[in-house]
Amino acid sequence: MANDKLRVFGKYFPVFLNYGFSLLVQRIQALIHRYTWKNLPSSQNVVVIGGSFAGITLARRLAESLPSGYKVVLIEKNSHFNYTFNFPRYSVVPEREQRAFIPYTGIMANTPKGIFEQVQDVAVGVREGDVVELASGRKIPFAYLAIATGVTQSPPAKLLAREKADACGELRALQTRIQDASRIAIVGAGAVGVQMAGDIKSFYPEKSVLLIHSRQQLMSSFGVRLHEYVLGKLQTMGIDIMLGERPELPRTAAWEGGELTFKGVKDEQFDLIIPCTGQTPNSSIIEQFCPTAVSSKTKRILVNPTLQLKSDVKTNAQIHNIFSLGDVAETGGPKMARAGMIQADVVQENILALINGRKLKTYKPMSIEGSLKLSLGMDEHVMYVKHEDGDEFLYGGKSSNVDLEVEKAWKMFGGDMETNKAS
């Protein structure tokens, strides 16, 4: 596995080099833009709906590059940026949950004054005449629109609350339930389920933890090699694993105990059942405006390679000034934060291209966008990537950082964790 680390670096070195150069160019251009952009009374809106990884990256890139006469409006329902990668850890470990919520205020600190407006609200629809309608009744006109509304998942993968204090309360509620339970079942062995199982067992080794998955492979959207590695690590930790089982979950949304029925086995009682299954794309915003742009199979928003909304599947006709990206969009790329952030660069370049009359760029997914860093308990993790040619790279590592390096995210998004974490 140590050799895999060198192989990854060798195989993707040109990608890393190109990304580093692009980032340097972006920083130089952003610095120039900060002193050349002018806030005009007639500025048109470039609206971004959704302030998670894809949406906030796009909003920031636009705020660093739009010409005078345009400004960015970010519509996001949450009061703070939700660093969802740490939700499983902070569902288990108490008194750290505040660190998963990063203020939006610092994200645009180095952009021109007046180029950015943040609206905390829910976008309920796109209307004729290029208008976004909000739940509050406000209507925001747009010259260009980008939809990055992501997916809905059951807590703790995503939380229900929109305000930081209430979201922290959700995490604390699960912490308490875990502390009080002796026998815990986790249903679903994607990244969230695996991390929950590993964290519970490593921080509370006395508890009985059962991880249940409907398929025969853990992390089933990745390769077999990752499954074998994760399976071995979890079993070594003392976690029981049941594959090929799809028990019916309790009807209530609350975390509670109950019985689960398995094939050929009598009902088993658990003190706590934690569902970690299912994703629902948040595509309803576009259904009335353009129902043919939503996949009948996946419910994701259909886009062309330019990431413009596909309004006619048969002809690939598109709505030129509406884009979609991230997990809600049928882009052909991985459903990962890194992929959404790369798509943000494509959308940003294409909006500028439309403004300036240039040729549009197409999005071509790369395997590195689907690379994964998965925590396996208190102090271990595994890195994994599967190349287009089927070659799998995997190597493990140790880490003593309980917060899973969340401070890097705070820095990236312009926040001061030490000042804000308790607020």
What are the pLDDT digits (tens) for 346-360?
A: 999 999 999 999 999
Q: Quick one: average pLDDT of 307-329?
A: 90
Dihedral, 28, 31, 35, 36 alpha carbons, nearest 10: 40
Q: What's the pLDDT at 2?
A: 57
pTM of the model: 0.93
Question: Whole-number mean pLDDT of the chain?
Answer: 93
Same structural domain for residues 254 and 383?
yes
- Cβ burial of 135 (10 Å; 0-12, 13-18, 19+) is exposed
Burial class (CB in 10 A: 0-12, 13-18, 19+), 306: buried
Residue at which a domain ends, from 368, 392, 409: 368
Using a pLDDT cut of 90, give the percent of the chain over it: 81
Same domain? For 284 and 273 the reply is no
Are 61 and 88 part of one and the same domain? Answer: yes
pLDDT score recorded for residue 49: 98
Q: Are residues 10 and 128 in the same domain?
A: yes
List pLDDT tens digits, range 107-123: 998 899 999 999 999 99
pLDDT of residue 1: 60
The mean per-residue pLDDT over the stretch 174-178 comes to 97
Regarding whether 150 and 9 lie in a shared domain, the answer is yes
Burial category of 192 from C-beta neighbours within 10 Å (exposed 0-12, middle 13-18, buried 19 and up): buried
How high is the pLDDT of residue 255?
86
The answer to whether residues 131 and 194 belong to one domain is no
**pLDDT greater than 80 at residue 420:** no
**Mean pLDDT in residue range 369-380:** 95
Co-location of 132 and 171 in the same domain: no
- Say yes or no: 257 and 334 in one domain: no
| CATH code (residue 70) | 3.50.50.60
79 or 253, greater pLDDT: 79
Pairing of strands 144-147, 44-49: parallel
In contact, 204 and 93? CB cutoff 8 Å = no
Alpha-carbon gap, residue 307 to 295, rounded angstroms: 15
So what's the pLDDT on residue 314?
73
Where b means 16+ CB within 10 Å and e means fewer, 85-109 reads: bbbbbbbbbeebbbbbbbbbebbbe
pLDDT reported for residue 253: 56
Are 207 and 292 in the same domain? no
* CA-based radius of gyration for the chain: 22
Same domain, 118 and 184: no
**Least confident range of 10-14, 30-34, 64-68, 144-148:** 10-14
Decide which of 368, 388, 406 is a domain's last residue: 368
Residues near 24 by Cβ (< 8 Å), separated by ≥ 6?
none
**Do 327 and 337 reside in the same domain of the chain?**
yes
What is the domain count for the chain?
A: 2
Q: Which of 230, 221, 266 is nearest to 370 (CA)?
A: 221
Average of per-residue pLDDT across 214-232 = 95
Examine the domain organization and report whether 270 and 303 are in the same domain. Answer: no
Structural domain for 340, as ranges: 2-155+279-368
